Chain A
Amino acid sequence: MTSELGAMKAVILRDLKSAVRQPSDLLNPLLFFVLVVMLFPLGVSPEVEFLRQAGGGILWVAALLSVLLSLDHLFRHDFDDGTLEQLVLQPQPLFLLVLAKTLAHWLLTGLPLVVLTPLLAVMVHLDGNSIRVLCLTLLIGTPVLSLIGSIGAALTLGLRSAGVLLSLMIIPLYIPVLIFGTGTVMAAADGTPVAGQLALMGACLVLALTLAPFASAAALRISLSNG
């Protein structure tokens, strides 16, 4: 068991390190997140009442899109330089290593998004309680986005025009998380208790955590045998 944990830790540390040395990959999804949120007041309506109502949804959609945008990087570099093949050859089960990579991806995109959220939430006039709940839903929801997305990223590895294909495949699978996430924020804004809905999101997270690494490991093997 220790060797598995050690390998996972090594993978996570390696991904974090290489991300820090390529800070633009880390920053771009965040900038994209801010820009998408900015489009809504400009494009739809800057009125406080509208923004307060739609703010939770806007932030969730923006977060979803920027996670989607960053998914291409999840395996791409490792695929290009052959690291991925070495990972497949490791004695440790591949799904654990994939889980580690997905975790690193979340630490590099999902977590910064959550950290940035309160700032943007204030800009769309959400109240304090809504902001707290919104951050909580994103904290539970973004790992699910990373996990489901890892399947799509693994399946489209090495394909041309992978980006659009990835979105086409993954967005339908993101819908439940989006619904639960925005629904929880709406409920919080109405002042109803949100524990039940948070529990549902937690259930989504547990399900994704248990099943997604297996699917993406299988997908990775297929993509590698393809190249």
Chain B
Amino acid sequence: MWQFFHKLGSPKWFYDIATRLMPWLFWIGVSLFMAGVVWGLAFAPPDYLQGNSYRIIFIHVPSAFLAQSVYIMMAVAAVVTLVWRMKLADVFIKSAAPVGAVLTFLALFTGAVWGKPTWGTWWIWDARLTSMLILLFLYFGAIALGNAISDEKSSARAVAVLVLVGVVNIPIIKYSVEWWNTLHQPATFKLTEKPSMPAEMWVPLLMAVLGLYLLFGWLACLRMQTEILIREGRTRWVKALVQTGGNA
């Protein structure tokens, strides 16, 4: 167990593992996601209330899921960065943050597109929408801080502190926003309660969620590999790798 943990600290070891892992993540992820999305968009039955517009959940729900879990993963990596000073953890934070931000944006965007036919408006200051918007800004803050500090080590640790402070705040933000919403805005619009979906709806949804998780894993590996190559550019194994054309 500990040996594995120590190996994780070695960029070269991770690079090799990631190279072997990535095809699996990519192909299983793509096939699950595409199968889920095609099934959901083309074959699943229309909702009795919302008709076909509900189908956007097959994109919306997976990205919203990922948007939140990526931040949690970053927080775990932040603890690892601060406690064990593991290089890979901060490579992960740096690689994952922009992906998380894009997914959060995607969740907000698809939510807005869905909101127009369903609620009759692009945006309402609903609790869930607002807390996702705040999450987007938490991502932006972490990315901006990382870019602003030029020294690699302090940049990593500063971002780790910020991400941890953010993750402590996420539940507070979530509850305060919900509380604010119920106080000020009694059900002009309401997020339709999650319907007890039939299997033809939730199976493709689950497939899309799992597929997107795997795809995120693939993308994170890819971005981490790139980041590792940039950082370890002076080491012998990277030079050897470049000279053999990446087939080491």
Q: How far is the CA of A211 from the CA of B177 in the complex (A)?
A: 22
Chain B interface size, under 10 / 10 to 19 / 20 to 34 / 35 or more: 20 to 34
Q: Is the CB of B148 within 8 A of A159?
A: yes
Q: Is the CB of A186 within 8 A of B184?
A: yes
Q: Within the complex, which residue of B82, B137, B166 is in contact with A171, where a contact is CB–CB below 8 Å?
A: B137
Q: How far is the CA of A70 from the CA of B164 in the complex (A)?
A: 24
Q: Is the CB of B148 within 8 A of A161?
A: yes
What residues of chain B lie closer than 8 Å to A186, measured between beta carbons?
183-184
Q: How far is the CA of A215 from the CA of B158 in the complex (A)?
A: 10
Q: Is B149 an interface residue (CB 8 A)?
A: yes
Rounded to whole Å, the gap between the CB of A148 and the closest CB of chain B is: 8
Query: Per-position contact with B for A139-183: 1 when CB-CB < 8 Å, else 0?
Result: 000000000100100011001110001001101110110011001
Q: Is the CB of A156 within 8 A of B154?
A: no
Minimal Cβ-Cβ distance residue in A for B174: A176
Q: Within the complex, which residue of A165, A175, A187, A207 is in contact with B144, where a contact is CB–CB below 8 Å?
A: A165
Minimal Cβ-Cβ distance residue in A for B154: A226
Q: How far is the CA of A138 from the CA of B172 in the complex (A)?
A: 19
Rounded to whole Å, the gap between the CB of B168 and the closest CB of chain A is: 7
Which residues from 125 to 161 on chain B have a C-beta closer than 8 Å to any C-beta of chain A?
Answer: 134, 137-138, 140-141, 144-145, 148-149, 151, 153-154, 157-158, 161
Q: Is the CB of B149 within 8 A of A215?
A: no
Q: Is the CB of A215 within 8 A of B165?
A: yes
Q: Do A179 and B180 form a contact, CB below 8 Å, given A155-B161, A172-B137?
A: yes
What residues of chain B lie closer than 8 Å to A169, measured between beta carbons?
141, 144-145, 162
What residues of chain B lie closer than 8 Å to A160, measured between beta carbons?
148
What residues of chain B lie closer than 8 Å to A156, measured between beta carbons?
145, 148
Q: Is B189 an interface residue (CB 8 A)?
A: no
Minimal Cβ-Cβ distance residue in A for B164: A215
Stretch at the interface among A34-42, A82-90, A118-126, A216-224: A216-224
Q: Is the CB of A176 within 8 A of B172?
A: yes
Q: Is B169 an interface residue (CB 8 A)?
A: yes
Q: Is B179 an interface residue (CB 8 A)?
A: yes
Q: Is the CB of A183 within 8 A of B140?
A: no
Q: Is the CB of B180 within 8 A of A172?
A: no
Q: Is A3 an interface residue (CB 8 A)?
A: no
Q: Within the complex, which residue of B137, B141, B161, B183 is in contact with A215, where a contact is CB–CB below 8 Å?
A: B161
Q: How far is the CA of A186 from the CA of B183 in the complex (A)?
A: 9
Q: Is B69 an interface residue (CB 8 A)?
A: no
Q: Is the CB of B141 within 8 A of A168?
A: yes
Q: How far is the CA of A159 from the CA of B158 in the complex (A)?
A: 12
Q: Is the CB of B154 within 8 A of A223?
A: yes
Minimal Cβ-Cβ distance residue in B for A218: B161
What residues of chain B lie closer than 8 Å to A225, measured between beta carbons?
153-154
Q: Within the complex, which residue of A161, A183, A204, A222 is in contact with B183, where a contact is CB–CB below 8 Å?
A: A183
Q: How far is the CA of A90 from the CA of B130 in the complex (A)?
A: 43
What residues of chain B lie closer than 8 Å to A219, measured between beta carbons?
158, 161
Q: Is the CB of B134 within 8 A of A175?
A: yes
What residues of chain A lie closer than 8 Å to B145, measured between beta carbons?
155-156, 165, 169
A-B contact pairs, 5 of them (CB 8 A): A156-B148, A169-B141, A215-B161, A219-B158, A226-B154
**Lowest 10 A-B CB distances belong to which pairs?**
A176-B176, A226-B154, A169-B141, A179-B180, A172-B137, A179-B176, A222-B157, A176-B172, A172-B134, A222-B154
